[in-house]
Amino acid sequence: MRASSGSKTVKDPTPKTRFEQPSPLRRLLVHLSPQRRLVLAAAACSLLNKLFDLAPPALIGLAVDVVVRGQQSLLAGFGLATVAQQLWMLALLTFVIWAAESLFEYLYDVLWRNLAQITQHRLRLEAYDHLQQLELAFFEQDSSGRLMTVLNDDINQLERFLDRGANQILQLITTVLVVGIGMAVVAPEVAMFAYLPIPVILWGSLRFQRQLAPRYREVRACAGDLASRLANNLGGMLTIKSFTAEALELEQLSRESQAYRSSNARAIRLSAAFIPLIRFAILFAFLSILLVGGFQALNGQLPVATYSVMVFITQRLLWPLTALGRTLDEYQRSMASAKRVLDLIDTPITIRSGPTALNLQLVRGEVRFEAVHFAYSQRLPLLQGFDLVVQAGSTVGIVGATGSGKSTVVKLLLRLYEHQKGRILLDGRPIEQLQLQDLRRAIALVSQDVYLFHGTVAENIAYGVSHPDRDAIQRAAQLAEVAGFIDTLPDGYDTLVGERGQRLSGGQRQRIALARAILKDAPVLVLDEATAAVDNDTEAAIQRSLEQITRDRTTVVIAHRLSTVRHADRIVVMDSGRIVEQGTHESLLNLGGVYANLWRVQAGEGSIAS
């Protein structure tokens, strides 16, 4: 099935501004600030490990110096008179250095991995928590597959970089600084040849980095498109099968997968060319040290021990630079992922909670819409000067054609969208002033599109209720006329409903959702086409239950089937975002207008006049 937003038109949620955003690395460091001590400890262990790792070439030089110069060696100056004493000291130093190197390798490995896991956990929770606070329009404009990629793949990519890449960068910088300074001190003329390729390598690395960055952004975008396609198709498998569109969907998925493969291939071709080019720069430096240093050692201009150290240390200086391409590759991948994650976290929250707490025990449930204006994004206005009063404890039915604005009224009441003008009040208080969670706790919604979570029947009925009582769950099921069906299930209330409740019929899911709303016991009950998927007998049973449920409770019933609202205290008829008729069932029939015409059609007594 085709994604509603179009797989190629999904955009990053962060709005463009004329101010350039900080780099993803700087933004990431801000989010890492609570782990500052852990970052510093891990970095210190990485630096100490590299310092001890660079010591063995110096030990080799000292060993050569002892063998060649004997009692005139450098170690002899520290009071070690005999060669044997000097060799034993070298052995002791070697043991200490190797032990220290191993210790700090263990420590940095543990610390960096812990940092990676903590960061992964915190960022995923922060991103998901922020996502839950975004308005409903955000989810309608974006794809669930792309968001899943951000919350899962992108955060995992960032975790992989912190696990390995950060340590590699620190150790590479340490190597270049320590070895470069050391070579400059002991043999500046020879060291110059080791320095020559470094600017070339750095220039090439930065150039590769600039070219890789947009390619990896494209890779992550294609990954999101592919995930969106898969999530969309898995959710629409019934439609795919019923329309025998398997071949079509496989072809479309093949195109998405090929786009991801091609974008990866373009990035791989560029990153793979880096190391071979760097090898030649290193080869030039190594040959220069080998020849120039060798001739100086033969002529007595350079001590043999120093020459030995230079040959070994040159590899330690330059060879790690071959890993620079791989490290930059991981860095660019992780920064592309970090940008997507942080862009999601930085998406502005447009619907903010109000400051006033709401005591649910004192809520009467009076609802008022006063001159409310509302339009969906990039669409014509739907509600213009909309007025509606629902008295506390009364039942109001809202009917009308599809697109007349019935469900929009409920979404505005729950602040799933923000109205542009006018006021919406609960018990005389504007809903913008109320704490958002308190407002929504005061309203129990049974929507037209029922969503059940993968879990048991009891868990779905008790969803959102802390420490639910089993007897209360069963009473709610009985009121919703679903208890008899639940008793026929293999495990009763402990039967798993499957993902999205796919093991149940539409009517069964809707009755479980009604039981969920009953158990919530909110002062305001909203039924948005709550009986649309049930048969006539079940609807009649639910109507009997509603007589008990709605007693002393404010109830708004949105329905297409007029039989659902015929016993309401007042029925409101909407058309194109306006109230065109209102009254009781009998008064509206006597009026002979829109409602009466709809009733005759549904009763099979006539047709809608053109």
* pLDDT tens per residue across span 348-399: 988 899 999 999 889 999 999 999 999 988 888 899 899 999 999 999 999 9
Compute the distance between CA of residue 168 and CA of residue 164 in angstroms, rounded to an integer. Answer: 6
Q: What is the mean pLDDT of residues 206-215?
A: 74
Using CA of residue 219, residue 224, residue 226, residue 227, what is the dihedral sign?
positive
What are 173's strand-pairing partners?
none
Higher pLDDT pick, 472 / 240: 472
Compute the distance between CA of residue 121 and CA of residue 70 in angstroms, rounded to an integer. Answer: 58
Name the band, by pLDDT with cuts 50, 70 and 90, for residue 40: very high
**Helices and strands (DSSP H and E) totals, the chain:** 25, 10
351 close to 177: Cβ distance less than 8 angstroms: no
Tokens 């018990």, located at residue: 427
Lowest mean per-residue pLDDT among 93-97, 232-236, 250-254, 533-537: 533-537
363 close to 439: Cβ distance less than 8 angstroms: no
> Whats the size of the chain, residue-wise?
610
- Smallest CA-to-CA distance from 310 within 171, 180, 176, 170 is with 180
Q: What is the mean pLDDT of residues 539-543?
A: 72
Please report, rounded to a whole number, the percentage of residues in the chain having pLDDT higher than 70: 90
Higher pLDDT pick, 232 / 437: 437
Compute the distance between CA of residue 229 and CA of residue 249 in angstroms, rounded to an integer. Answer: 9
What are 582's strand-pairing partners?
572
Q: What are phi and psi of 609, to 5 degrees?
A: -70, 140
Angle at 472 between CA 468 and CA 478, to 5 degrees: 135
Give 390's DSSP letter: E
Q: What is the pLDDT of residues 425-446, one digit of tens each?
A: 999 999 999 999 999 999 998 8
Please report, rounded to a whole number, the percentage of residues in the chain having pLDDT higher than 90: 21
Report whether pLDDT(231) > 60.
Answer: yes
Task: Give every CB contact of residue 529 below 8 A, 6+ residues apart in sequence.
Answer: 447, 448, 558, 559, 560
With both helix axes pointing from N to C terminus, report the angle between 324-345 and 246-272 in degrees, rounded to the nearest 10: 130
Q: What is the mean pLDDT of residues 510-538?
A: 82
Tokens in use for 452?
A: 């059940």
Residue 3 is predicted with a pLDDT of: 40
In order of 13, 162, 231, 500, the CA distances from 131 in angstroms are: 11, 24, 18, 20
Lowest mean per-residue pLDDT among 58-72, 109-123, 294-308, 579-593: 58-72
Compute the distance between CA of residue 605 and CA of residue 610 in angstroms, rounded to an integer. Answer: 16
Q: What is the mean pLDDT of residues 95-109?
A: 93
Residue 13 is predicted with a pLDDT of: 42
Name the band, by pLDDT with cuts 50, 70 and 90, for residue 11: very low
Q: What are phi and psi of 592, to 5 degrees?
A: 70, 25
Q: What are phi and psi of 350, to 5 degrees?
A: -90, -25
